[in-house]
Amino acid sequence: MITTGTAKSWMENFKELILENKDELTTLDQAIGDGDHGINMARGVQEMDKMLQEKTFETPGALLKAAAMVFISKIGGASGPLYGSALMKIAAEAGDKAELTDQDLLACLDAGKKAVQQRGRAETGEKTMYDVWDPVVSTFRGEETIDWEALKTTAQQAVKSTVDMHAKKGRAAYLGARSVGHTDPGAFSSRLFFEALADAAQKEN
Amino acid sequence: MDKVSLVLVSHSKEIADGLKKLLGEMQPEVTIAAAGGEEDGGIGTNAEVIARAVEEVYTEKGTVILFDLGSALLNAELALELAGGKQNVRIADAPMIEGGLAAVVEAGFGSSVEKTAEAAEKAYEMKKIDRS
CATH number where A107 lies: 1.25.40.340
Q: Between chains, do A76 and B82 touch, taking CB under 8 Å as contact?
A: no
Could you say which of B3, B5, B9, B11 is catalytic? B11
Of A73, A74, A78, the CB nearest to B74: A78
Q: In total, how many domains does chain A have?
A: 1
B126 touches chain A (CB under 8 A): no
Provide the residue range defining the domain that includes A22.
Answer: 4-204
Asked, for residue B99, whether it belongs to a domain, the answer is yes
Neighbours of A44 (CB within 10 A): 25
Residue B37 has pLDDT above 70, yes or no: yes
Residue B1 has pLDDT above 60, yes or no: no
A87 touches chain B (CB under 8 A): no
Asked, for residue B130, whether it belongs to a domain, the answer is no
Provide the residue range defining the domain that includes B35.
Answer: 5-125
Going residue by residue through chain A (205 aa), what tens digit of pLDDT does each one get? 899 999 999 999 999 999 999 999 999 999 988 888 999 999 999 999 999 999 999 999 999 999 999 999 988 788 999 999 999 999 999 999 999 999 999 999 999 999 999 999 999 999 999 999 999 999 999 899 999 999 999 999 999 999 999 998 887 888 888 889 999 999 999 999 999 999 999 987 6
Q: In total, how many domains does chain B have?
A: 1
CATH number where B58 lies: 3.40.50.510
Asked, for residue B132, whether it belongs to a domain, the answer is no
Question: The dihedral of CA A81, A84, A87, A89: what is its sign?
Answer: negative
pTM: 0.90
Cα dihedral A110/A95/A79/A148 (nearest 10)? -50
A81 touches chain B (CB under 8 A): yes
Query: What are the φ/ψ torsions at residue A166 (nearest 5 degrees)?
Result: -100, 115
Whole-number pLDDT of residue B25: 96
Asked, for residue B21, whether it belongs to a domain, the answer is yes
What pLDDT digit, counting tens, does each position of B61-77 carry?
Answer: 999 999 998 889 999 99
Asked, for residue B89, whether it belongs to a domain, the answer is yes
pLDDT band at B28 (very low <50, low <70, confident <90, very high): very high
What pLDDT digit, counting tens, does each position of B105-123 carry?
Answer: 999 999 999 999 999 999 9
